[in-house]
Amino acid sequence: MSEFTEKLILPDIPNLHQLDVYERHGGYQALRKAMGMKPEEIIEEVKKSNLRGRGGACFPTGMKWSFMPKQSTKPKYLCANGDESEPGTFKDRQIFECNPHLFIEGAIIAAYAMGVTTVYTYIRGEYAKWIAILQKAVDDAYARNYIGKNILGTGFGTEFVIYRGAGAYICGEESALMNSLQGERGYPRVKPPFPAQVGLYGCPTTINNIETIANVPIILNRGAEWYWKIGAPKQPGTLLYGISGHVNKPGVYEFPTGILLTDLIYNYAGGVPGEKKIKAVIPGGSSTMWLRGEEIEGVKMDADSLKAVGTAIGTGGVIVMDEDTDVLKVLARIAHFYHHESCGQCTPCREGCGWMEKILNRFLAGDGTMSDIDLLMDVANNIEGNTICALGDAAAWPVQSVIRKFREEFEARAKKSPTAPKPVTPPHLVTTFDA
Amino acid sequence: MLSKENFEKLERLKSQYPTTKSLSLPVLWMIQEQHGWISPESMQYVADLLQLPVSHVYGVVTFYTMFNTKPVGKYHLQVCTNVSCLLRGGEELLDHICKRLHVKRGEITLDQRFTVTEVECLGSCGTAPMLQANDEYYENLSTEKVERLLDEWSKG
Ligand SMILES: Cc1cc2nc3c(=O)[nH]c(=O)nc-3n(C[C@H](O)[C@H](O)[C@H](O)COP(=O)(O)O)c2cc1C
Ligand code: FES
């Protein structure tokens, strides 16, 4: 078990979502400190902390901030990504509910560091309740001059706007998010140009996940030196692990990066109901490659360790499946999700996701054949890397990994004595009687 | 068609975005809150209000799954059947609700009280299975719990 047990993002403090309580526990001190620093010093501190994005791609946050032009004739924007739609992910919601001011404080510090004039927080439409909680917190912060035209009398000003999505997984992809905020359909954009050059409304923009931003006040309060000693050095800090599926105590758990996956499942989440064995684990949200139950021993939950075993930390959303799980059924459901959520711009994703779902449903219906297994892999391989955004990859990875790791499941389900495919008769040869 | 309050709200929102196009989603949300769905006439209205082509508004409405393009029941039950919910009985829950209300997925009951929709992950995987009724989340459900909820909603 891990030695560092302090909860930095979701501490057990009752009513922390209220501004008074938050202030009493040191809230907005990091903002005061930041306002006494030069913007470049803040970016340097965040770089030194090694903070990496919690939205899925693990991009170094300080580096991302440094891409923003220092001088700009156009306004600069920060988009906080609260779309949270990756199946198995339910952590940002916890920040909105329990510690919204930590996120707001981080966002204002980020805005100051990058010279941002408006912070747009994009939240999925279904989160009506959490949008209301955050709006209340934002209003309170405005009233105490933590947000506004002249923050804490420093002369620096930034606005804070919450935008409600309306049901589309793709709007979590950063460029689709910007288009959605512009009132358009959520179509991802071709990159380059990158958002730091041409982003929201064509202006320099940085997009960060909610949890990423919530780490910023902690780094400023305690210092980068202190922060990067927590957890895995290359991806330090605590992580909000969301664990769901076949465990006794599903939920969000905050622990340092790099804890053992088995500790998370057995010690914190209470193990598998009925003491059953584990058949498979999805380590970081539905887009990440699966692990077989036999593989999870010794696996650590951080970017590098998971990469070493062929998968990724993703959003930290762990999904556990017990020995009785029909993995093909689960995979078919995932394939359905990506097919449904593909925005339709790129042919490989729009068509390929549908084909993958169809082939998988064929197996569920008992109509799959041995050659369908290779066909499925072929379709997945031809989606991967051939689309504007990573939704195509996200759809391909689970399929590829399940074929590789559970091929026997496909084989067992494939037709035992596959009838040779019916020869296709060209239309002009069709006779009046069937052979 | 916007209520007086929503008109005032719209005026306030205008200063938050550099373009009126950004107001597409917020205004469509207001329309849906008032009417429960977004009719072709409403789309024309929003287009005129924001001075945008109606094709743009139609494009936006049909892209986002939460915008209803037909009327929904007083209670719009949205049941998640994605992975984490699937593993904890989301499918069975959905089937149970459909059976009790005599509807198929996506349909509205004859008395227009309920619409039942199958939805993707709602970010509630740790409290699966779950459903969303209008804007409210109902989590850690079982057939008994959902029976009780349906009893209540059938009355009120
Ligand atoms: C299909 C797709 C969906 C995504 N959904 C989300 C999401 O819901 N929330 C999020 O923070 N990032 C999401 N991302 C990642 C974002 O594009 C982006 O990398 C992230 O918000 C950057 O923040 P970070 O650097 O703080 O991690 C998604 C990416 C893709 C390709
Ligand atoms: S899978 Fe149902 S809420 Fe996430």
- Identify the pLDDT of residue B70: 97
The predicted pLDDT at position A435 comes to 38
Provide the sign of the torsion angle of the four alpha carbons B97, B98, B103, B106, taken in this order.
positive
Ligand nearest to the CA of A208: 1
Instruction: For B4-63, give the CATH class.
Output: mainly alpha
Say if pTM beats, i.e. exceeds, 0.80.
yes
**So what's the ipTM on this one?**
0.98
β-bridge mates for residue A301, sequence order = none
Low-confidence ranges of chain B (pLDDT < 70): none
Cα–Cα distance, A200 to A206 (Å, whole number): 9
Interface of B with A (CB under 8 A): 16-19, 21-26, 28-29, 56, 59-60, 63-67, 81-84, 86-88, 120-128, 132, 135-137
Q: Are A300 and A332 in contact (CB under 8 A)?
A: no
Please determine, for residue A430, whether its predicted confidence score (pLDDT) is greater than 50: no
Which residue's structure tokens are 């919204």? A100
A15-24 pLDDT, tens per residue?
999 999 999 9
Interface test with B, best of A160, A333, A391 (most B CBs within 10 A): A333
Q: At what angle do helices A391-405 and A327-341 cross, to 10 degrees?
A: 170
- Residue A7: what are its φ and ψ, rounded to 5°? -100, 115
The token pair that represents A114 in the structure block: 């990058």
Closest CA to A56 of A353, A317, A257: A317
Q: Which amino acid is at A367?
A: D
Please name the CATH architecture into which domain B75-155 falls.
Answer: 3-Layer(aba) Sandwich (3.40)
The sheet that has A118-123: what strands, in order across it?
A159-164, A118-123, A77-82, A205-209
Quote the CA–CA distance of A23 and A213 in Å, as a whole number. Answer: 18
| pLDDT given at position A409 | 97
- Give the pLDDT confidence of A146-204 residue by residue, as tens digits: 999 999 999 999 999 999 999 999 999 999 999 999 999 999 999 999 999 999 999 99
Question: By three-state DSSP, how is residue A3 classified?
Answer: coil
Residue A269's SS3 state is coil
Distances (CA, A) of B108 to A267, B17, B71: 45, 37, 9
Q: Which atom of ligand 2 is nearest to the CA of B83?
A: 1
User: Domain-by-domain residue ranges, chain B?
Assistant: 4-63, 75-155
pLDDT at A432 over 90: no
Q: Which chain B residues contact residue A90 at CB under 8 A?
A: 123-126
Q: Which of residues 350-409 of A touch B (CB under 8 A)?
A: none
pLDDT digits (tens, 9 = 90+) for A398-419: 999 999 999 999 999 998 755 5
Residue range A245-282, pLDDT digits in tens: 999 999 999 999 999 999 999 999 999 999 999 999 99
pLDDT at residue A3, as a whole number: 80
Assess contact for B74 and B113: CB atoms under 8 A.
yes
Mean pLDDT score of chain A: 95
